[in-house]
């Protein structure tokens, strides 16, 4: 059997007395797109943030290509592991003092130690991929939310990650800007990128996901291919959640 890109075993996270994740296990295969849905507070964002160490898990293990993430005492090694995960934030978190090009180039240049000219060229390549090359010299404040999010995706892609993690990438966007971001993500999935996506965009989940995961109270309550999870959910939680969504 081919080794999964990501192997998560018994992942738990608590903030003080508040147990947000209670032993989540999940494998993600190369090229697979996994969409995580669930009500707010179900732990899906925390789960994603534990994968690339934005949160320190309380218990459990995350492996990337079989190697335990965050186990080394060396800051440099852990940072290098983290850089193998591309992370796209709900609120973009672009660097406001840098142009779109430099936002994308700074990782390759400072982290991968690429010569500046090469990093800039790579940045332009990645900006082209998200249809933002024409805005390369603009600062984030001059860009719409959808444009900022596409630059943020390019910034993550420029690190040549093994897997892309998306944390509600369209939730902070005006409705008319959602589609341009989803289109970029669809193209990525089609190109074979391994992706884990937390989202409320059910049409995206239906069209793009290989597998949908429904989280509730810090555990995976149900998982399956989108046809099954959306068509005939087995757990009462998923049934209730999906019923509420369609009534929105």
Partner 1 sequence: MTIDWGIILESIPLLAEGVIVTLQVSALSAVLGLALGVALGLGALSRSRAVRWTVAAYVDFIRGTPLLIQIFLVFFALPMIGIRFDEFSAGVVALSLNAAAFVAEVVRGGVGSIERGQAEAAKAIGMRHRQVLVYILLPQAYRQMVPPLTNELISLVKNSSLLSVISVYELTRAGQAIISVHFVPFEIYTLLALYYYVLIKALSWLSVQLERRLPTW
Contacts with partner 1, residue ranges (CB under 8 A): 52-54, 75-76, 79-80, 82-83, 85-87, 89, 91, 93-97, 106-107, 110-111, 139-141, 152, 155-156, 159
Tokens 């180039």 appear where?
105
CB of 121 to partner 1, least distance (A): 18
Q: Which two tokens stand for residue 206?
A: 């239906």
Q: How far is the CB of 98 from partner 1 (least distance, A)?
A: 8
Residues 6+ apart with CB under 8 A from 203: none
Nearer to partner 1, 115 or 231 (CB): 115
State CA 211 to chain mean position distance: 15
Which residue's CB is nearer to partner 1, number 33 or number 148? 148
The least distance separating partner 1 from the CB of residue 16, rounded to whole angstroms, comes to 18
Residues contacting residue 112 through CB under 8 Å, at least 6 positions apart: 83, 119, 159
Q: Which is nearer to partner 1, 9 or 93 (CB)?
A: 93
Taking the complex as a whole, the smallest distance from the CB of residue 80 to partner 1 amounts, in Å, to 6
Q: Are residues 87 and 54 in contact, defined by beta-carbon separation less than 8 angstroms?
A: yes
Q: Which is nearer to partner 1, 152 or 202 (CB)?
A: 152
| Phi (first) and psi of residue 229, to 5 degrees | -65, -35
Burial of 55 (0-12, 13-18, 19+ CB in 10 A): middle
- Shortest distance, CB of residue 54 to partner 1, whole angstroms? 6
Nearer to partner 1, 47 or 87 (CB): 87
């Amino acid at each position: 059997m081919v080794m999964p890109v990501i192997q998560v075993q018994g992942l738990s996270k608590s903030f003080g007395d508040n147990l947000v994740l209670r032993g989540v296990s999940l494998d993600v295969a190369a090229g697979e797109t996994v969409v995580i849905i669930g009500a707010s507070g179900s732990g899906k964002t925390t789960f994603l943030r534990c994968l690339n160490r934005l949160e320190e898990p309380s218990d459990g293990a995350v492996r990337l290509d079989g190697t335990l993430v965050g186990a080394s005492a060396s800051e440099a090694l852990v940072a290098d592991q983290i850089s193998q995960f591309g992370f796209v934030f709900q609120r973009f978190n672009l660097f406001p003092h840098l142009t779109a090009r430099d936002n994308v180039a700074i990782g390759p240049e400072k982290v991968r130690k690429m010569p500046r000219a090469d990093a800039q060229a790579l940045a332009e390549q990645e900006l082209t991929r998200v249809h933002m090359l024409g805005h390369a010299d603009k600062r984030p404040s001059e860009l719409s939310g959808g444009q900022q999010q596409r630059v943020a995706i390019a910034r993550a892609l420029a690190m040549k990650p093994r897997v892309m993690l998306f944390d509600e990438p369209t939730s902070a966007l005006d409705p008319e800007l959602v589609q341009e971001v989803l289109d970029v993500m669809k193209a990525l999935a089609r190109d074979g990128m391994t992706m884990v996506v937390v989202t409320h965009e059910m049409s995206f989940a239906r069209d793009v996901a290989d597998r949908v995961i429904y989280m509730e109270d810090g555990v995976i309550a149900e998982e399956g291919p989108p046809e099954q999870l959306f068509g005939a959910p087995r757990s009462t939680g998923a049934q209730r959640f999906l019923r509420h969504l369609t009534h929105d």
